[in-house]
Amino acid sequence: MSCPFRVVDQGQKALLRKQGYYIVGEHGAVKLCHWLGESLLRSRSCYKQKFYGIESHRCMQVAPGVDVCNQRCLFCWRYYDRESNLERGWDDPHNLLDGFVKGQMQLVSGFKGDDRCDIDRWKEARDPRHVAISLSGEPALYPYLNEMLEEISKRDMTSFLVTNGTVPTALSNLTTLPTQLYITIATPDEKIYLELCRPKANYWRRIRESLEAISALKTRRTIRHTLVRGYNMDPEMVDGYAELDSIAMPEFIEAKGYVFVGGSRYRLSMNEMPSHQEVSAFAESLADNLGYRIADEDPKSRVVLLMRKDVSSPKL
């Protein structure tokens, strides 16, 4: 499993470090989430803590293949001037996970000197108990994803796996399941998919296959709709999303407004960032269409949680 070549070149590594990433091995990375800092300094948490009970300060945001992706979504925060190579060797998942924890500890260390930092929470932050495989790139392209999930489970950590759904075989072949599996469905149809997600090939059929694959998985499943004003959230598009959602019928659906950050600022404008009211209206229409209920919302993150009516609670 060792990586004989450099998947992330030296120039890209320097750029990523400047952006706050801690590089692990040849292609892994961990980076502190904004909400981890908010939790330590201001006792504010991200919507995943509110919805699912994941403590923001103990959550580790990682990428097994940083910037390795087969899409170039307009709304993505990544910068596209340097991208990783998809066809090189890969690092061992055990070593990557060790490196992620080491990197998280190092990145968190700087908060201790801040008078606003809750010292007890800071100590807990140095022992992350949740792994969000969601930082950058498409994790299902990492060929040892199953082994990484197994290693996370062995360490008694929980995991969120966030995928764009373009690698259905990686999902159907999982023998160790994440605690919660996310698929991002950012468009209601193939035409908008090609325009907004700009895949390197047309993966629309694969995305539908991924929805079919996760319908049988015995884990918590979430479909996330990233909503961009003027592109993919017009009222007449709700039927298209509902048809896709009904393939998997996940426990949860998140309607999440696009946020004007990172590299997306060079492709979109503030005008494409919907208000929470717009996201709420979309979510209510989708819930009515599918027979789901609105379980929660977080206006500061412009996200609304839909839950299947037979599910009692979103909390882990």
Supply the CATH number for residue 95's domain. 3.20.20.70
| Per-residue confidence (pLDDT) for residue 89, from 0 to 100 | 72
| Per-residue confidence (pLDDT) for residue 10, from 0 to 100 | 73
Q: Specify if 217 maps to a domain.
A: yes
Tens digits of residue pLDDT in 56-69: 999 999 999 988 89
Question: What residues of the chain score a pLDDT lower than 70?
Answer: 1-9, 80-88
Cβ atoms within 10 A of the Cβ of 123, count? 12
Q: Specify if 276 maps to a domain.
A: yes
Q: Specify if 4 maps to a domain.
A: no
| Per-residue confidence (pLDDT) for residue 68, from 0 to 100 | 87
Q: Specify if 5 maps to a domain.
A: no
Q: Specify if 315 maps to a domain.
A: no
Q: How many domains does the chain have?
A: 1
Q: Which structural domain range is residue 164 located in?
A: 10-307
Q: Specify if 316 maps to a domain.
A: no
Q: Specify if 312 maps to a domain.
A: no
CA angle 274/276/279 to nearest 5° reads 70
| Per-residue confidence (pLDDT) for residue 4, from 0 to 100 | 37
Residues whose CB is less than 8 angstroms from the CB of residue 216 and which lie 6 or more positions away in sequence, other chains included: none
Rounded Cα distance, 278 and 2, in Å:
47
CB-CB contact of 284 with 238 (8 Å): no
Tens digits of residue pLDDT in 233-260: 999 999 999 999 999 999 999 999 999 9
| Per-residue confidence (pLDDT) for residue 1, from 0 to 100 | 42
Sheet bearing 293-298, strands edge to edge: 22-24, 28-30, 59-63, 130-133, 158-163, 180-184, 220-227, 252-257, 303-307, 293-298
pTM of this structure: 0.94
Per-residue burial over 226-235, b if 16 or more Cβ lie within 10 Å, else e, is bbbbebbbee
CB-CB contact of 74 with 149 (8 Å): no
